[in-house]
Amino acid sequence: MDIGLIGLGKMGGNMRERMRRAGLTVVGYDRNPDVSDVDSLEALVEALPSPKVVWVMVPAGDPTRATVQELSGLLGEGDVVVDGGNSRWTDDLANAELLAEKKIGYVDCGVSGGVWGLENGYALMYGGDEADIAKVQPAFDALAPEGDFGSVHAGKVGAGHFSKMVHNGIEYAIMQSYAEGWELLEAVDMVDNVTEVFRSWREGTVIRSWLLDLMVAALDDDPGLSKIAGYAEDSGEGRWTVEAGIEHAVATPAITAALYARFVSRQDDSPAMKAVAAMRNQFGGHAVRTPAPKGGDAEGGGQAPQTETSQKAGAGTTEEPSES
Provide the annotated active-site residues.
164, 171
Tallying the residues shown for the chain, one arrives at 324
* Residue 20 half-sphere exposure toward CB, CA atoms < 13 A: 11
What's the CA dihedral at 50, 55, 58, 64 to 10 degrees?
70
Whose CA is closest to 7, among 71, 52, 51?
71
Beta-carbon contacts of 303 under 8 Å, excluding residues fewer than 6 positions away, are 297
Contacts 24+ apart (CB under 8 A), 255-264: 255/169, 255/170, 255/172, 255/173, 257/173, 257/176, 258/172, 258/173, 258/175, 258/176, 259/172, 259/234, 261/176, 261/232, 262/172, 262/232, 262/233, 262/234, 262/238, 263/234
Beta-bridge partner residues of 112 = 123
Going from the C-alpha of 137 to that of each of 100, 131, 169, 200, the distances in angstroms are 20, 10, 27, 39
Complete edge-to-edge strand list for the sheet that includes strand 2-6: 25-29, 2-6, 53-56, 80-83, 105-112, 123-127, 151-155
Beta-carbon neighbour count of residue 231 at 10 Å? Answer: 10
136 within 8 A of 107, measured Cβ to Cβ: yes
Beta-bridge partner residues of 111 = 124
Beta-bridge partner residues of 151 = 124
Distance CA 209, CA 223 (A): 20
